[in-house]
Amino acid sequence: MRDLYDLTYDEVAAELGRMGEPAFRAGQVYQWLGRGAGDWPAMTNLPASLRERLSRTFRLDGLRLSERRVSAIDGTIKCAFLLQDGNLVESVLMRYRHGYSICLSSQAGCRMGCAFCASARAGFGRSLTSGEMLQQVVRFAAMEGVPVHHAVVMGIGEPLDNYTELVRFLRCLNDPRGFGMGLRHVSVSTCGLVDKMIDFTDEGLPVTLSVSLHAPNDGIRRRLMPIAARWTMDELLEACRRHTRVTGRRVTFEYALFDGVNDRPEHAEELAERIRGMLAHVNLIPANELESGGLKQSSGNAVRRFQDILAARGIQVTVRRELGSDIMAACGQLRRRLEEAKDD
Ligand code: SAH
């Protein structure tokens, strides 16, 4: 069985052509995928016989809802989805002033091992297919019945560690014959796989590149992120500068603040110095604390002080709003709990 959501428009058209179907069928089928159809009867404008034949080769239920939680504080909705092979992923639907945004996972688990991140701790299952990423957007939007105009690949996993499927997913998500999301409304977040960042820049996809920096220098970065031992910050920042040179696009730096580790005034000064002159924006994240692990969240004062120092040096800086704090909406927390519950 293949997942129909894994197919591009051209592949759907080729399949239907082989089945002897007229050319317009591909548009109909792809439109249903854009609408997040979860079963064959949903595709009401297709002849029952065609649906029956398609269902012998393809599945539409590659993603099944396992758990759904709604935040009482801000209405954020988090879902855990079960994949065909029993792996779990998480996706989050957030409401912003400008509309709805979905945060999706690119892998079941993660291999990057960042010290502060829950995703790494529940272990690595596998990378997701493009269709599994696509369904987190289109099925979730269909389930909730809301218009979703934004997507961020900031859930579980390292998207650039799943490069080919990620790029395929972005093209499918963007295809106007399907869901048709504008890629300017999509952000991809990476911990800094420099070689893959260079390739990604050259794909020419107008998405926003977010880079998880979390440190002003290599010493601190290596304490927090194993990937920092593979590439230096100089190499990483050069890949960001290249991204801006080639695409003209601004890079976002994610910076989670941990008490005493990377949130001191001198760290802010050093960071400002390192990224001076770049077309960049720093997004400060009041860190989520893991139950175990020595890293503590910075105080509100430390966050403000850090922000003020960057702003005074002409760096564009914002503090990320916390959403869904009551439903473990952050970074692999729910999957980890569900995986742990499995082992009990
Ligand atoms: N692997 C990608 C995307 C997934 S993580 C990346 O590293 O960017 C999405 C963001 O959440 C990253 O910036 C990550 O560093 C951050 N994050 C993970 N755990 C966190 C925590 N406990 N507190 C604050 N931010 C965290």
Nearest CA to ligand 1 atom 4: 154
pLDDT tens figures, 217-268: 999 999 999 999 999 999 999 999 999 999 999 999 999 999 999 999 999 9
Q: Which residue from 213, 331, 333, 334 has its CB within 8 A of the most atoms of ligand 1, so it is best to mutate? A: 331
For residues 46-51, average pLDDT: 97
285 Cβ inside 6 Å of ligand 1: yes
Model pLDDT, residue 186: 98
Q: What is the DSSP string of 105-170?
A: -SEES-SS--TT-HHHHT---EEPPHHHHHHHHHHHHHHHT--EEEEEE-SSS-GGGGHHHHHHHH
190 Cβ inside 6 Å of ligand 1: yes
Token code pair at residue 281 = 């924006």
pLDDT tens figures, 190-220: 999 999 999 999 999 999 999 999 999 999 9
Q: Which residue from 91, 255, 285 has its CB within 8 A of the most atoms of ligand 1, so it is best to mutate? A: 285
154 Cβ inside 6 Å of ligand 1: yes
How many angstroms does the Cα of residue 119 sit away from the middle of ligand 1?
9
For residues 138-158, average pLDDT: 96
Q: Which residue from 114, 156, 208, 255 has its CB within 8 A of the most atoms of ligand 1, so it is best to mutate? A: 114
How many angstroms separate the CA atoms of 160 and 162, rounded?
5
pLDDT tens figures, 328-342: 666 555 566 556 555
How many angstroms separate the CA atoms of 79 and 141, rounded?
12
Is 93 a residue whose pLDDT tops 70?
A: yes
Phi, psi at 64, each rounded to 5°: -120, 135
How many angstroms does the Cα of residue 65 sit away from the middle of ligand 1?
24
Model pLDDT, residue 331: 53
26 Cβ inside 6 Å of ligand 1: no
Is 296 a residue whose pLDDT tops 50?
A: yes
Is 282 a residue whose pLDDT tops 80?
A: yes
pLDDT tens figures, 109-144: 999 999 998 887 778 999 999 999 999 999 999 999
How many angstroms does the Cα of residue 195 sit away from the middle of ligand 1?
20
Model pLDDT, residue 343: 43
Catalytic residues: 90, 331
Nearest atom within ligand 1 for CA of residue 153? 3
- Whole-number percent of the chain with pLDDT over 70: 94
Is 48 a residue whose pLDDT tops 80?
A: yes
For residues 300-312, average pLDDT: 97
How many angstroms does the Cα of residue 114 sit away from the middle of ligand 1?
8
Q: Please give the domain boundaries of the chain with CATH numbers for all domains.
A: 2-59 (1.10.150.530), 63-343 (3.20.20.70)
For residues 73-80, average pLDDT: 91
283 Cβ inside 6 Å of ligand 1: no
Model pLDDT, residue 244: 98
215 Cβ inside 6 Å of ligand 1: no
Contacts of 291 (CB under 8 A, 6+ apart): none
Distance of CA 41 to the CA centre of its chain: 30
189 Cβ inside 6 Å of ligand 1: yes
For residues 89-115, average pLDDT: 93
Phi, psi at 283, each rounded to 5°: -110, 105
Model pLDDT, residue 96: 83
Is 322 a residue whose pLDDT tops 80?
A: no
Residue 261 has, within 13 A of its CA and on its CB side, a CA count of 23
How many angstroms does the Cα of residue 83 sit away from the middle of ligand 1?
23
117 Cβ inside 6 Å of ligand 1: yes
How many angstroms does the Cα of residue 156 sit away from the middle of ligand 1?
9
254 Cβ inside 6 Å of ligand 1: yes
Contact 90, 332 (CB under 8 A): yes
Nearest CA to ligand 1 atom 22: 288
Average pLDDT score, the chain: 93
